[in-house]
C-alpha cells in the first residue's frame, strides 16, 4: 500500500535557525513528489514538484530535494512568517498520497 511518512511531527525553531523536514515514501510508480504549505483553516498552497532522484528546487528560504526513498525540505534562516504546516505528497499511479505534515513554528 502506498504510504508517505513525515518527520518530525512538530518542529520549533528560532528565527534564523536552519533545519530540514523529512518525507519518506513508499509509492508504486512514483509520478512526482509534491510539497505544500498549509496555514490553519486554509487550503494547502503548492510549493514544489520533484520528479526524479537528484532533483532540487528552490524558492526563497526553501529548498526541496529528492532521493529514491525520501525528500527533504530545507529551510534556511527561517522567519516567523514561515510558520505553517508543511505537507508532502507522493503521486502514485492513481492518486496523491499525503503525509500528515510537519507543524513548523518559528519564534522571533
Partner 1 sequence: DSGVTQTPKHLITATGQRVTLRCSPRSGDLSVYWYQQSLDQGLQFLIQYYNGEERAKGNILERFSAQQFPDLHSELNLSSLELGDSALYFCASSVGLRNEQFFGPGTRLTVL
Residues engaged in binding partner 1 (CB under 8 A)? 31-32, 34, 36, 41-46, 49, 87, 91, 94-101
Nearer to partner 1, 53 or 96 (CB): 96
For the CB of residue 48, give the shortest distance to partner 1 in the complex, in Å. Answer: 9
CB of 16 to partner 1, least distance (A): 29
In 3D, which of 6, 13, 8, 18 has the Cα closest to residue 77?
A: 18
Instruction: Compute the least distance from the CB of residue 92 to partner 1, in Å.
Output: 9
Q: In the chain, helix, strand, coil percent, each to 5?
A: 5, 60, 40
Give the residue with the Cβ less far from partner 1, 15 or 25: 25
Cis peptide before 8 (omega within 30 of 0): yes
CB 4 within 8 A of CB 87: no
Q: Tell me whether residue 46 or residue 108 sits nearer to partner 1 (CB atom).
A: 46
| 11 vs 85: CA distance, rounded Å | 10
**Could you tell me which residues are beta bridge partners of residue 85?**
38, 103
| Beta carbon of residue 15, minimum distance to partner 1 (angstroms, whole number) | 28
Name which of 52 and 100 has its Cβ closer to partner 1.
100
Amino acid at each position: 500500500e502506498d504510504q508517505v511518512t513525515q518527520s518530525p511531527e512538530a518542529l520549533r525553531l528560532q528565527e534564523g535557525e536552519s533545519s530540514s523536514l523529512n518525507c519518506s515514501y513508499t509509492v508504486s510508480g512514483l509520478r512526482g513528489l509534491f510539497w505544500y504549505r498549509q496555514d490553519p483553516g486554509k487550503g494547502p498552497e503548492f510549493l514544489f514538484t520533484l520528479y526524479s532522484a537528484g532533483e532540487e528546487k528552490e524558492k526563497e528560504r526553501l529548498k526541496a530535494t529528492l532521493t529514491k526513498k525520501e525528500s527533504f525540505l530545507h529551510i534556511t534562516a527561517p522567519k516567523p512568517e514561515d510558520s505553517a504546516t508543511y505537507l508532502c505528497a507522493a503521486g502514485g499511479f492513481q492518486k496523491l498520497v499525503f503525509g500528515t505534515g510537519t507543524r513548523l513554528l518559528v519564534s522571533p
